[in-house]
Structure 1
């Protein structure tokens, strides 16, 4: 359960659990999870995974002290399920066997989220620190679970983890504006957000340092793809589709969009963006709604400080857009992101409307 927004951002209050401690039968998930990058290289991986006995989550709810265990249980199952359905080099698969589908659906229902690996399982709950005395940042963190042996995938995930850690400064600033506040408090909060966004953009720009665009596209991006018409055996006989893991499921930019009251035009792209919220942790979705209900700070804020935050948001999206071209668009004609996002048109659209909301921009 995440209630440490001002100090951890959207990362969990405690560092994620790295081993399941629910009893000996549950160790199978750690064993299979740790072996998954090797298993997925074998053509008979699906045959093996269909025979693995996965015990159900042992409680009718998730006790507060067992949230780290529940998150790891979901992470392991989510990775295994996506590896099974999206295994590279094997025929398309449209069914998830009952031994995986039933426990995944049960933990997903308790966590009030769709039964597929999403951004929270891929990044928010999927890291550990080498030195607990040092910050959550690149060089001091590694992943818990992966699809492939390549460090490129570790790097891709860990860049997002550091970004989420830096976003704690943003959440602290946003939370300081709850209740009555004046122009001075608003400008101070905007200054803090501006500073945090500068650091976040610098980290996002580091993506190419340790991640090959060729390896990303061919070797591990397919594993975070969406589920198209997949039958969850033993749960539902009707095929169902879910969005794949994507950075659009991070809560950082939606939080800032709600705070700044950016009036994005209602269209298919924006509806898609809101659809991504169902893949966020429940508590984070609730926080977004709380911020959405806050008064508009635009009138209280100075033009310079308000517009500076909007410009940082636009710059962040421009870097994202650049990496989308480098890592995806140049390698295929598919204009869909990993979550089914029409990212090329979508990102341009968001950039333009973000800049168009500046106080220094006159309405057309």
Structure 2
């Protein structure tokens, strides 16, 4: 397991690029991104977007250029989602060539589907006010948004702090893996308790959602922009109209990693097939880490029963809070049972909670 995961979790190794360098051919995307929340109030937005000249990504992808490519994907991904799902307009059935081709190219280079996903909406979409301060609420802000309201900033930033806390979880898992290899199972309890404390910290951050996010505003103003694409034709692409999952927390790698580590046997169903598909929307290095954790020996044993069950209880607490916010922010306000990823989210969230609690040692 790479050391970077113990330092940053699934966040980028260095802080995301907040703007392209002066003189960059991509700098026009920063201006487009800055104006996007205002432009979306206009019925003429799609006409404006169709006339944009999006600079083509040039050159190879390297360690040096990767932060720029990620910002390029964020800017173009937001623009594409805004075009297809503009609030107060019917969903667009065609993504114009000037947006579709840059998005397809960037997504191909990042080895992911051509739609804005959790990585672009959260993992690459934050900056610190104090560069030497923590990646924590109060010291972070977003780079790109769909709306001007702080509610959307807060929604994204809560996820960023949760991702930051995951660094300690992954550090503990890496230590467990090393000690299992050295056959020092008796030393694992401290690392398991460390994981439990980190998940509890994540629960407390998740509970803060209502502090700056109004449930009615969330549902009506910015949630529509992160919905799935259904039968959307990408101009310039020969494939038939395509369907892609929308941005969703199910595309975060934290819970799948914990499920893999705890060896929770979720019953095979349409739900598990969906969760497997969610991995396709994760950065490839994150998918590889989940597979690495899946290959680890099972830690569920009488020797570790107390901390093992404590981790399960913490995971269940996280799922309960998540379920509660889904009820408050979405389910109460619609008869539509599908979430942004296109799934019956309430039914599935409940199923995941029940199966997590059922795996206690």
With the length of structure 2 as denominator, give the TM-score of the two structures: 0.97
Contact 1:227–1:241 (8 Å) recurs in 2: yes
Contact 1:329–1:335 (8 Å) recurs in 2: yes
Paired with 2:228 and 2:112, the residues of 1 have a C-alpha distance of: 15
| Counterpart for residue 315 of structure 1 | 317
1:1-364 correspondence to structure 2 within 5 Å: 4-21=4-21, 23-59=23-59, 61-179=60-178, 180=181, 181-299=183-301, 301-359=303-361
Contact 1:3–1:13 (8 Å) recurs in 2: no
Could you give the per-residue CA deviations for residues 71-92 of structure 1, whole angstroms, max 9, x where no partner exists?
1000000000000000011122
Q: Give the CA deviation at 1:184.
A: 2.8
Could you give the per-residue CA deviations for residues 110-131 of structure 1, whole angstroms, max 9, x where no partner exists?
1000000000000000000000
Paired with 2:91 and 2:340, the residues of 1 have a C-alpha distance of: 16
SS at match of 2:242: strand
Q: Which runs of 4+ in 1 moved over 2 A?
A: 21-25, 181-186
Q: Give the CA deviation at 1:349.
A: 0.8
Contact 1:186–1:301 (8 Å) recurs in 2: no
| Structure 2 unaligned residues grouped into runs of 5+ | none
- RMSD over aligned Cα, in angstroms? 1.3
SS at match of 1:177: helix
SS at match of 1:241: strand
Larger mean CA deviation between 227-236 and 213-222 belongs to 227-236
With the length of structure 1 as denominator, give the TM-score of the two structures: 0.96
Paired with 2:303 and 2:312, the residues of 1 have a C-alpha distance of: 12
Larger mean CA deviation between 37-46 and 3-12 belongs to 3-12
Q: Give the CA deviation at 1:23.
A: 4.5
Could you give the per-residue CA deviations for residues 141-179 of structure 1, whole angstroms, max 9, x where no partner exists?
000000000100000000000000011110101111224
Alpha-carbon spacing, 1:192–1:42, altered in 2? closer, same or farther (3 Å): same
Paired with 2:295 and 2:193, the residues of 1 have a C-alpha distance of: 22
Paired with 1:198 and 1:317, the residues of 2 have a C-alpha distance of: 11
Paired with 2:37 and 2:275, the residues of 1 have a C-alpha distance of: 31
Alpha-carbon spacing, 1:57–1:74, altered in 2? closer, same or farther (3 Å): same
SS at match of 1:220: helix
| Structure 1 unaligned residues grouped into runs of 5+ | 360-364
Paired with 2:272 and 2:24, the residues of 1 have a C-alpha distance of: 46
Q: Give the CA deviation at 1:3.
A: 6.3
Q: Give the CA deviation at 1:66.
A: 1.2
Q: Give the CA deviation at 1:21.
A: 2.8
